[in-house]
Amino acid sequence: MKIILLINSLSTGGAEFSTLTFYSWLREKTNSEIKIVCLKKADPEYDFKEFGFETLTYLNGSSFPTRLKSFNLIVEQFKPEIVHSVLFDANLLGRISRLIKRNFKHVESLVNQTYSPYRLNDPNITKFKLQAYRFLDFTTQIFGVDHFHSNGQTVADHYCEKLHISRSRITVIPRGRNANPYLENKDDLKGLRGKLNPKDRIQIINVARHEYQKAQTILLDALFELNELKDRYIFLLVGRTGECTKEIKHKIQTYHLEENVKVLGHRKDVPALLASSNIFVFPSRFEGLPGALIEAEAAGLPIICSDILNNREVVEEHKNALIFPVDNAIELSKQLKELILDSEKRKKMGEESLIIYQNNFTLEEVHQKMNDLFNSLIKS
């Protein structure tokens, strides 16, 4: 099987990590020839060599016509059976190339709810711009995509509604994650925890880029309501900077949370940070299938998350997660207080998280399903 992975960049996000993890597995387990093509470089970005790849191709130029010409040359030379695209700009390029070349199957991954109504509250998005994207998305997918892969049922439902995609054209295969390597020996984490949390307080963690979608500012509003517990917790904010970084730092200063909140930025030791923590919090306004929640479950953490269907595909309310209404900082603060004060509940919920991960999100089964999908499309 000859495959081109076409992706916006290797920026440090959940979709990029999930995709690279799958292709690392595919390269190791099958005889597939894989070529990774990126539209642009990112900073920070994942090191493709850490996933077992020796080379990576960046397309020439920044304009769409120049990139399309560059990509079509790659298609002519490599002669892929499958082009698998991920994220909007790469998807659009793959669609137009498919219409021109017609000598490969174009598989497109649906990884987020692009047209969520919550996006209209994002100061960087206008209704006109979103509708224009949606029209372009709808018209080009009709003949430019052979099949869709969705990382969750909620995401599949979203695109069936918003782009009128037939259900028969979408295969739902969830994200998976590696088991957390630190659970068997947490003594290895004493140095890390001691450095970040020298007073050994309850360690709360969020892993997400600093964007409106991820709603870390709501989390800070909730922490402000916990003034009486400031000596009981430390909060780790992990993820690359973004549109909301300035507001996040402003709220930390305004709420006098400098002693409680550590903004760690992008980190390569996320599994260790998770395994050294006590509570995972995820206040997102919209998602795909949240890989960060799966990683938290693999680390055996109790979870507090927003009430969106995407999160409910991963967690089980009252078993391993407390769930609060989107943007409701008061309810979130109550749930934080509950888990900070109840060590037994944290322990039981964390045990349930690990069971849910082991039953639903281990990598081998997920990746085999993707491989089977590709093979079936080639034969069709």
State whether 73 and 148 are in the same domain: yes
Looking at residue 179, its pLDDT comes to 93
State whether 149 and 191 are in the same domain: no
Residues for the chain: how many in total?
380
Q: At what angle do helices 363-379 and 14-29 cross, to 10 degrees?
A: 70
Share of the chain above pLDDT 70, in %: 100
Q: How far is the C-alpha of 74 from the C-alpha of 37, rounded, in Å?
A: 9
pLDDT category, 121, cuts 50, 70, 90?
confident
pLDDT category, 163, cuts 50, 70, 90?
very high
Query: Per-residue pLDDT for 305 more than 90?
Result: yes
State whether 231 and 206 are in the same domain: yes
Looking at residue 188, its pLDDT comes to 82
Q: What are the tokens at 253?
A: 């200063």
Residue 368 belongs to a domain: yes
Q: What are the tokens at 277?
A: 């923590």
Q: What are the tokens at 189?
A: 């984490």
Residue 113 belongs to a domain: yes
Is pTM beyond 0.85? Reply is: yes
Phi first, then psi, for residue 56 (nearest 5°) are -150, 140
State whether 22 and 163 are in the same domain: yes
State whether 43 and 131 are in the same domain: yes
Looking at residue 123, its pLDDT comes to 85
Peptide bond into 123 cis (omega under 30): no
Buried b (16+ CB within 10 A) or exposed e, 315-325: bbeeebbbbbe
Q: How far is the C-alpha of 111 from the C-alpha of 346, rounded, in Å?
A: 30
The CATH number assigned to the domain holding 350 equals 3.40.50.2000
pLDDT category, 119, cuts 50, 70, 90?
confident
Averaged pLDDT, 4-10: 98
Q: Which amino acid is at 340?
A: I
Lowest mean per-residue pLDDT among 106-115, 184-193, 223-232: 184-193
Averaged pLDDT, 363-377: 94
Residue range(s) defining the domain that contains residue 244: 186-360
Residue 120 belongs to a domain: yes
Residue 181 belongs to a domain: no
Q: Classify residue 376 by burial, with Cβ atoms within 10 Å: 0-12, 13-18, 19+.
A: exposed
Residue 140 belongs to a domain: yes
State whether 275 and 329 are in the same domain: yes
Query: Per-residue pLDDT for 102 more than 90?
Result: no
Q: How far is the C-alpha of 16 from the C-alpha of 2, rounded, in Å?
A: 20
Averaged pLDDT, 25-48: 95
3-state secondary structure 239-282: CCCCCCHHHHHHHHHHCCCCCCEEEEECCCCHHHHHHCCCEEEE
State whether 170 and 203 are in the same domain: no
State whether 95 and 243 are in the same domain: no
Residue 369 belongs to a domain: yes
Instruction: Pick left, alpha or beta for residue 237 (phi over 0 → left; psi -120 to 50 → alpha; otherwise beta).
Output: beta
- Averaged confidence pLDDT in the chain: 95
Reported as a single tens digit per residue, the pLDDT across 214-226 is: 999 999 999 999 9
CB atoms within 10 A of CB 82: 22
Q: Please tell me the total count of domains within the chain.
A: 2
Q: How far is the C-alpha of 67 from the C-alpha of 91, rounded, in Å?
A: 13
Owner of token pair 């999100």: 361
State whether 370 and 350 are in the same domain: no
State whether 28 and 168 are in the same domain: yes
State whether 56 and 102 are in the same domain: yes
State whether 84 and 150 are in the same domain: yes
List, as one string, the DSSP characters of 322-372. Answer: EEE-TT-HHHHHHHHHHHHH-HHHHHHHHHHHHHHHHHH-BHHHHHHHHHH
Residue 220 belongs to a domain: yes
Residue 39 belongs to a domain: yes
Looking at residue 118, its pLDDT comes to 87
